Structure 1
Amino acid sequence: MEGQFENPLVIGKTAVPRCFRNINVKSLPVTWRFNKKAWMTSALFTEWVKDLNSKMKRAGRNVLLLLDNAPSHPVDLNLSNVKLLFLPANTTAKLQPLDQGIIQDMKQFYRKRLLRSVLAKIDDESVVSAESVSKSLNVLDAVQWVNSSIKDVKADTVTKCFRKAGFKESLFASDSVVVDDDDDDDDEDDNVPIQELVELMRVANKKISLGDTMTVKEYLDVDSNIPNGEDLSENWESDLLQTHKNTESEPVDSDSDDECSGVAPTPEPICDLKTHQDALKCIDQLKVYCMNKDLGSVSAMFSRAGEELEKLSVDALCSTLFL
């Protein structure tokens, strides 16, 4: 069972962002939830972990869930098949396997997809502003990148991170994953995502007007200081009540979601395909159509096709820039 991930939980700001208008939200490759701040809350965590408990009960499994002491993690949940283990304060960076490289690995895959998608949409002769780049992205893209990036995290990476966090070797007796001690620090495959990201950043720094040149580390950590969970401020009770009221009154199809402000209405079908960019627009429309018809496997196929086309487009761009 090592290296298996649950369906990702993604939290946005509205029930149905504009870029979700033509699709069935239940057909997304993630579990979509929302609140005004796009934060993890105790209510959302409780719903998620109870669903996990029901799944484990049906499968006849018992699992251990390692958690920090964030306010969004209730300590009084009564679960039959999921045991919650809260790590001591200020030890998460050392004892939480996710923090030993799993999150970082997933972020590398995600940011590689994001940057490659942006660069694939830029004409060979163009240099674009950061503002125009932000308008070319939407939440639907992010949801698909999250799902694909988690699947790219290898089982032996997960095992290594558990071992690094101090878990006993007896936990990894399964035949499904074999990890060589000699490969822990110098596995060349582990460096592939970061090497690809370095190359993409070279192109980005030439094709996107960023002001100052951005390093790969700065790009990976660009959102590290953004709050992602509720805190216990002095007025936390009234704030939580107000958030609940606002969420209840949220229109289903909101035009206020600034996450999708750069997304135009569904464009007219393109009949004359001359460039990679034209083809990518068509693939995007096909993905939306498939999700609207609950054709998840077909949508995933088009997503993979889109990624391959983006790679070709960026490779062509690189050959132009670095001849």
Structure 2
Amino acid sequence: MNPRCFKRVKSLLVFHESNKKAWVTSSVYEDWLHKIDHKFQRENRKVLLLVDNCPAHPKVLIQTLKAIKVVDLPTNLTAKLQPMYQGIIKNLKVNYRRRIIKRLLKASDEKMGLTGLNLLDAIFDLNKAWTDVTSDTIANCFRKADFVKTDVENLATQEQDEILSDGTSEEWDDLQRILACTEVTFEDFIDMDTSVIIVGEPTDSKILDNMKA
């Protein structure tokens, strides 16, 4: 895929891959893993990568990785042990959705309509949204997942509430008035893609191959 908006763009701030179903596949995962491994080698870093049992996370050739050690989380415990699920992903989505709201309101004020968002805009906004996720938020989510014994059960939730209340409500109300839609909450907008399928289930032959590996 070569989107028109990528024309004359020499480099992106993120790794970008695409396929017809917009799924994360094992080949995409492996390619990404080796790219960041090379990056960490250049930076002389050693990294521990925790991964869940997503079908797109196959057993890669660990011996080919130089800077990264991959550790699999126990099956069916992702919701409890995966720090990303303790608030990091939610924090990122809040930051990203807020940027989308601001972009749409600006387009409306400038009489540009509400259809001007393209893939390149989304990539830049997503990159900025990630930089807005603070190191404290990430550390607190690791603590909440019991990587460190401390009482931080509600810290990640409090941080999200602060972001949600930081001017977003009025902007969301303004956008709803423009769209003539008042039944959707900002929380609904944040979680609109939660149930979207982003990975295919492995076939029986693939499962057997993994068991033999």
What is the TM-score with the length of structure 2 in the denominator? 0.84
5+ residue gaps, structure 2, are 207-213
Q: Report which structure shows greater RCO (CA 8 Å, sep ≥6).
A: 1
Q: CA deviation at 1:23?
A: 2.3
Is structure 2 residue 2 aligned with structure 1 residue 22? no
1:210-237 deviation digits (Å, cap 9, x = unpaired): 3x5211111111111111123225798x
Could you say which residue in structure 2 is the equivalent of 1:141?
121
Report how many residues are paired: 204
Alpha-carbon distance change, 76 to 121 in structure 1, aligned in 2, over 3 angstroms: closer
Could you say which residue in structure 2 is the equivalent of 1:156?
136
Could you say which residue in structure 2 is the equivalent of 1:67?
51
Among all aligned residue pairs of Structure 1 and Structure 2, give the percentage whose two residues are the same amino acid: 34
* Matched AA of 2:82: Q
Could you say which residue in structure 1 is the equivalent of 2:197?
227
Distance 2:143 2:56 in 1: 27
Could you say which residue in structure 2 is the equivalent of 1:167?
147
Distance 1:166 1:85 in 2: 16
Alpha-carbon distance change, 183 to 36 in structure 1, aligned in 2, over 3 angstroms: closer
Question: Which secondary structure state, in structure 2, belongs to the residue aligned with residue 231 of structure 1?
Answer: coil
Distance 2:205 2:4 in 1: 32
Q: CA deviation at 1:209?
A: 2.8
Question: Which secondary structure state, in structure 2, belongs to the residue aligned with residue 32 of structure 1?
Answer: coil
Asked if the contact 2:24/2:198 (under 8 Å) is kept, the reply is yes
Could you say which residue in structure 1 is the equivalent of 2:101?
115
Q: CA deviation at 1:183?
A: 8.9
Asked if the contact 2:56/2:199 (under 8 Å) is kept, the reply is yes
Q: Which of 82, 85, 88 pairs up with 1:102?
A: 88
What is the TM-score with the length of structure 1 in the denominator? 0.57
Could you say which residue in structure 2 is the equivalent of 1:260?
none
Asked if the contact 2:144/2:153 (under 8 Å) is kept, the reply is no
Asked if the contact 1:108/1:197 (under 8 Å) is kept, the reply is no
Distance 1:230 1:182 in 2: 33
Is structure 2 residue 16 aligned with structure 1 residue 32? yes
Distance 2:55 2:155 in 1: 34
Q: CA deviation at 1:64?
A: 1.1
Distance 2:29 2:153 in 1: 38
Could you say which residue in structure 2 is the equivalent of 1:48?
32
Q: CA deviation at 1:186?
A: 8.3
Is structure 2 residue 185 aligned with structure 1 residue 215? yes
5+ residue gaps, structure 1, are 1-13, 170-178, 237-323
**Over alpha carbons, which structure has the higher Rg?**
1
Is structure 2 residue 70 aligned with structure 1 residue 90? no
List 4+ stretches of structure 1 deviating above 4 A.
Answer: 179-183, 233-236
Distance 1:143 1:109 in 2: 13
Asked if the contact 1:40/1:228 (under 8 Å) is kept, the reply is yes
